């Protein structure tokens, strides 16, 4: 039987400094609200495919946090400004995530919509969590981005698919898949199916 999801922590959000340690990650539980500060990296389909295929990353991703995001950026006199940074749908990365978690010792994935059983198992085995960022709040999330430290593979992949190295302050997210085998996404789907079956029973 899958463990039941816990209630949200009563003491407010946990402020976490990146990079995260294995101990910190394993102390997190589904329904914990966190605020992240430090460096995270955006990564979408093209990056996941390349890295899962064995390519060497253009930056150090060991024990990093990957954000499923194609930020909207503008050039400034000093470099770049992020004007929108909403999450993209994470399930597209399900074929690659477990491989990247193992290969790089990733500590967190951020996106929306949740991920599947292979990712959940890798989170428990290697010490990683899935964090849900609010969809439809791209400008609010961009406000948590203090600056762009670097951009990688821009010429190769184009702006949305490039790896953007972002410095964030109090970036808000909710732990929805933890190292203890709990997935709020799976729990909600199971409860929804049971409710639907009760409302619309299949005739014998």
Task: Give CA–CA dist 163/156, Å, rounded.
Answer: 11
| Distance (Å, whole) CA 163 – CA 44 | 8
- Taking alpha carbons only, the member of 84, 92, 181, 81 closest to residue 134 is 84
Neighbours of 94 (CB within 10 A): 15
Catalytic residue (one of 48, 68, 132, 185) = 48
Q: What is the rounded distance in angstroms from the CA atom of residue 102 to the CA atom of residue 125?
A: 9
Say which residues have a Cβ less than 8 Å from residue 135's Cβ, sequence separation at least 6: 86, 87, 112, 113
| Residue 152 bears catalytic tag | no
Write out the catalytic residue numbers. 48
């Amino acid at each position: 039987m899958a463990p039941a999801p816990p209630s949200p922590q009563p003491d407010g959000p946990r402020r976490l400094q990146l990079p995260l340690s294995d101990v910190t990650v394993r102390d997190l539980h589904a329904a914990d609200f966190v605020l992240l500060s430090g460096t995270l990296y955006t990564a979408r389909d093209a990056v996941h495919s390349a890295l899962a295929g064995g390519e060497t990353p253009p930056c150090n991703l060991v024990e990093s946090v990957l954000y499923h995001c194609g930020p909207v950026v503008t050039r400034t006199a000093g470099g770049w400004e992020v004007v929108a940074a909403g999450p993209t749908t994470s399930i597209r990365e399900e074929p690659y995530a477990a491989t990247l978690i193992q290969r790089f010792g990733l500590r967190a994935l951020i996106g929306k919509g949740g991920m599947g059983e292979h990712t959940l198992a890798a989170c428990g085995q290697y010490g990683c969590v899935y964090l849900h960022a609010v969809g439809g709040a791209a400008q609010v999330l961009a406000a948590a981005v203090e600056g762009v430290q670097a951009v990688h593979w821009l010429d190769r992949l184009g702006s949305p698919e490039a790896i953007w190295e972002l410095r964030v302050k109090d970036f808000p997210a909710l732990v929805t898949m933890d190292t203890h085998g709990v997935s709020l996404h799976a729990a909600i789907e199971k409860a929804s199916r049971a409710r639907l079956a009760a409302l619309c029973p299949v005739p014998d």
